[in-house]
Structure formats: structure tokens, C-alpha cells
Structure 1
Amino acid sequence: MTPPPDNGPNKRDRREEAREKARLAREAAARKKRRNTVFARSGIIVGVLAILVIVALVIISSVKPAGPGPANMASDGILLKGDATTSQISAVKTAAIKSGGTPTATDDKKLTGTVNITVYLDYQCPYCDQFETANASQIKTWLQKGAVTYEIHPISILDGSSLGTRYSSRSANAAACVANYDPNDFLAVTTAFYANQPAEGTSGLTNAKILSLLKGAGASSSDITSCVNNETFKSWVTASTKRALSDKLPNSSVAKVTGTPTVIVNGKLYSGSLTDASAFSSFVASTATS
């Protein structure tokens, strides 16, 4: 017998089929929504974790010990002395501050027969430039005669005055490079920095210009070039500046640096004119006889 023809699902069957398809679609949509919610939450969690990792790295890097300092600046400054016989000015050699270490103050009890001048300066500081311009020549003469010692502490407090180029820190680092590799030219380098000091509110000097100044002052080598460009003593500049701004200044009664230049002669703070060489000379003479 031939089977009857198949006329397809009846109306009721079609309705049930449509309901089933709708139910399956709703369930699929619900599953997709749950997956998207999970992915979104996972993405937020991953993003938060990434931020926390970055913050942690920043905190760790900010509290890690400062890197080693430059040689010949164990006190955070470089001590210059002169030879009355030869008129030569040279740096007192010292070991570098170890990574995470603290400075060793110059033993002023060993500095007999001289007036001991210490200056905390910033190469971007216009008042330091005034002091340098007025007194550099006579300080050099005193050194050549063996009458004084001169301890220079470069610090960085004026990075905000160079349009984001951090000239204050970069120049202090460059000075540290000279102390490390060519210390006997440190005084000439300091003079060159002030003779070419950029105005506040400008972009400061490029590393190439800084290296040119160092070369003109006699300090030129591949080691110095790498040291300046890599900012080798960046962390030391930060650490030594922080110490100067918060700790009692060695061999004096000065509580801390509150501005630059801070000039100390035989332990006494000089508060006279920065532009009057005779006033400073008189102060130096008075401390020598007191």
C-alpha cells in the first residue's frame, strides 16, 4: 500500500517548534551575556592588576638605594687644595660612596694652616653665578697660594626652571662625571658652567653643549661622554641633594641648605653680599684670625 502523502507539521506542531526555537535563542542570549560579563570583569581585574603592578614598580624604584656616587666625592662634595710651590690646584682623592651608602664628612681637623671654604651650589642658580663671578678669581688665587681649601657640593634644586629638561640635575651629574674621571679640572669646569649659565625659564643646555664646555675646560674623554649622556650619577644627585636639604651640614652649625649658594667658611655661614668680592675677602680674613 502506498503511504499517504506527508503534508508536514500541523499548526500546533509549528507553534511548538517556534516556541522551542525562541527558548533556545533566549538561553543562548543569556549565556552570551554571562560570558561577556565574565570577560568584562576579568578585563577590569587584569587592568587593575596591571595598574597595581606599575604602582608597585614605581614605589620600589623610588625607595631603592641610590646608586654608587662618583669617586673623589665621599663627602658629597669635592675638596680642592693648592700647592704654593707649583701653584697647582688638585682634588683630594677619595673612594666613591657605595650604593645605598652614606657620605663621609671631610675631616676638617686635618685641614690645618688653611681657611676652609665650602659651597653648596646649583649650576642653574643665578645667585650662585653672582657669587662665582665676583669671587672665582680670588678663590683660585688663594688656592694657588695654598691659603685655602675649597669644597664644592653641586646640588639640584632648580629643575623646574628649565622647561622640563632637568638642566639643574644634568649639570650636577656632569660635574660628578668630571669628579670621577678628571677631578683636577673640576674648578675649571665649575667656572665654565657659570660663564655659560642658561637663563631661568629656558630649556637649559643640551648634553652636547655641556660636553663642549667640559672639553673647553680640559675634561674630555669617552668615559665622561658616556657618563654625561647616560646620566650615570642621576640617583646620587637626587640623594645628595636630599641630604643637603634635610641634614645638618658637616663641619658647621648650619641646620641644612635653605637656598643656594650656601657658603661656609671655617664652619661659619657667610651671609654677606654675593657680588662684593671685598666683603667676602674680609669675611674669610676674619675667620682666619678668629
Structure 2
Amino acid sequence: MSNGDPAQRPINGERRAAARDKARQLREAHRKQERRRRAAIRSTIITLVVAAAAIVAVVIVSSIHEPSRGPANMASDGILIGKGMKVDRTSAAAADAKPVANKPDSSGQTVSIVTYVDYLCPYCGDFERTNADQIGKLVDSGAATIEIHPIPLLASHSNGTKYSLRADNAVACVANYDPNSFWALNKALFENQPQENTAGLTDQQLKNLVKQSGAKNYDSIAKCIDDGRYEQWAQNALDRTLTGPIPNSSVKQLKGTPLVLVNGKQYGGSLTDADEFRGFIVKAQADTYSTPTPTPTPTATSTK
């Protein structure tokens, strides 16, 4: 049997060597490609792990943020306005902090008027519109102080907009940034009071009233309103009044608005009769500071 042309054997050998070399190159290329693929997978995994860790860190940091705070100048959960319509300044406290009650005047020179009001409450509106002018004059002259506690009791009575809560947030923003315009805004809110069980004023309308009330630092106040910054504080303040007791009075807890106190005595008269409320102020002041006439001590009569 012929083994073929001997001249072809080297050629066939070269082809086999070339094939082996080609196979080796392909295997090497495959190994390099596999190494690159694995490196890419490891890099992707590392990137994902780092990203996940960053997300977890953000969540943890966000969950350990500083507790929300209440507004400055409302440490009692109300704002105290005195002579010249100037506000008694206090520092801000945590939204859930126990309120610090204001101390009534013990000299007998100043009447203490305290109101707990809801900006959607129609009865609050009746009282405020009837008595705001005479209260303002008494306070401006120094004959009285007014301490106003905004209470979002009717937050669920505004077609889902939580108007009472938003209005309380707005006045708290003003108390924080320009407290001396609080009285003007309080009055404006009742003069423009929406009806109960309506959507109430929008945040923009609230900001318009802030501007019309002459508040300074308007940009800061507007952002505060948009952020709803003091809504949690307002809700906490409501909870505290519902739990009670009401400071500087014999009232155990808030049962409705308006709650009006004069020298700690609860007013229960007409909400639309300014004369009746004025008479109550005079009587409360007399009852609080009148000095009883001492009863003479009988002396023995000599029979001698």
C-alpha cells in the first residue's frame, strides 16, 4: 500500500501545527474573555453593594433626624401679646415638649385674657369679630394681655383639606418669623373665615393674608407654610389641650371652641355681645383682686 507522496507529509504536519497553534490562541482568547467577564461581574456586584450601602445609609440618617420643633414665641402652645401689641418672646421647643404656662400678673394691674380658637369654628368667628376691637384696645394700652391658642379641632371638617391644621401652621410660621404681626393675621383669618365643611382657604390665600397683615420675612413665612412645618406641633398642641388640664384655670380639658378665660375664669356668656363680655372682664378683675373688708373683732365690755 502506498503511503502517498512523501512531499505532502511536511505540509500536512505544518497544517496540523498551525491548527494546534490556532486552537491554542482561541483557548487563550477565550480564557482572557472569561477573565474579563468575571472581572466585569465582580465590578458590577461591588458597585451594586456600594450603592445599596449608600441607600441604607441615607435611610438610616433620615430616620435619625432631629425631632420636629414647634415655633418660637409659643412655648405655652399659645402666643402672649401685651402692651403695644408686642409679643412675649420665647425660644422654640420640641413639637412634643410639655408647654410652659405663662404666669398671670399678680399686681392686679393687668387683666389676663386667654382664648383657645379654631380658625374654622363659626362660634370662634362670632366671638372674635365681636370682641377683637375692644380686646385690642385693652391690650395695646397695657390694661390686658391676650394669649391666643390656635387649636385645629375641626381639621376633619374641611372636605379633606385639613384647613384648621393648615391655618394653625400659617399662624405658627408668623409667630416664629414675625410674631408682632400675629394679632393682625389672627384678626384677618376671622374676618375672612370660610364656612365649616368647605375646603377653606388655599395655602396661597393664607399667604396672601400674611402679606396683607404686614408680616416681615415673607419669603421665610411662605416657605414655612408650603412645608407644613408646624403641622405636627399644632396636632400635638391639640392633643395636649384635649388631655388637659388647661393652665391657670379650673378647666380640666378642652371640650370645644372657643374657650375664653379671663383671669382663669371661663366665659359662658353671649359670643355676639361685646358689652356682656366687657362686663365679664370687669367682674373677673374685681373678683380676682378685690380685698375683702376685714370683720371687726368684738372687744369685751367692762361691767365695772
How would you bin the TM-score normalised by the shorter chain? 0.7 to 0.9
Distance (whole Å) between structure 2 residues aligned to residue 109 and residue 264 of structure 1: 14
From the CA coordinates, give the structure whose radius of gyration is larger.
2
The question of whether the paired residues in 1 share the 8 Å contact of 2:71 and 2:173 is answered with: yes
Distance (whole Å) between structure 2 residues aligned to residue 214 and residue 161 of structure 1: 23
Report SS of the residue matched to 1:80.
Answer: strand
Q: Could you give the per-residue CA deviations for residues 214-239 of structure 1, whole angstroms, max 9, x where no partner exists? A: 11011251110111000100110010
Report SS of the residue matched to 2:146.
Answer: strand
Distance (whole Å) between structure 2 residues aligned to residue 128 and residue 111 of structure 1: 30
> Cα 1:74–1:215, aligned 2, differ >3 Å: closer, same or farther?
same
Q: How does the TM-score come out when normalised to structure 2?
A: 0.71
The question of whether the paired residues in 1 share the 8 Å contact of 2:118 and 2:258 is answered with: yes
Q: Which residue of 2 aligns with 1:270?
A: 267
> Cα 1:141–1:155, aligned 2, differ >3 Å: closer, same or farther?
same
Q: Which residue of 2 aligns with 1:24?
A: none
- The answer as to 2:181 corresponding to 1:180 is no
Q: Which residue of 1 aligns with 2:220?
A: 223
Q: Which residue of 1 aligns with 2:245?
A: 248
Which residue, 77, 97, 101 being the options, matches 2:97? 101
Kindly state the Cα deviation for residue 262 of structure 1 after the two structures are TM-superposed. Answer: 0.1
Distance (whole Å) between structure 1 residues aligned to residue 97 and residue 168 of structure 2: 19
The question of whether the paired residues in 2 share the 8 Å contact of 1:70 and 1:233 is answered with: yes
Runs of 4+ that moved beyond 6 A? none
Which residue, 203, 209, 223 being the options, matches 1:207? 203
Aligned length: 223
Q: Which amino acid aligns with 1:169?
A: L
Distance (whole Å) between structure 2 residues aligned to residue 118 and residue 254 of structure 1: 12
Q: Give me the identity figure in percent.
A: 45
Q: Which residue of 1 aligns with 2:18?
A: none
Q: Could you give the per-residue CA deviations for residues 196-229 of structure 1, whole angstroms, max 9, x where no partner exists? A: 1111121111100000011101125111011100
Distance (whole Å) between structure 1 residues aligned to residue 231 and residue 95 of structure 2: 12
Q: Could you give the per-residue CA deviations for residues 26-83 of structure 1, whole angstroms, max 9, x where no partner exists? A: xxxxxxxxxxxxxxxxxxxxxxxxxxxxxxxxxxx9xx9972110000000000001x
The question of whether the paired residues in 2 share the 8 Å contact of 1:72 and 1:95 is answered with: yes
> Cα 1:111–1:122, aligned 2, differ >3 Å: closer, same or farther?
farther
The question of whether the paired residues in 2 share the 8 Å contact of 1:65 and 1:99 is answered with: no
Distance (whole Å) between structure 2 residues aligned to residue 183 and residue 81 of structure 1: 12
The question of whether the paired residues in 1 share the 8 Å contact of 2:246 and 2:252 is answered with: yes
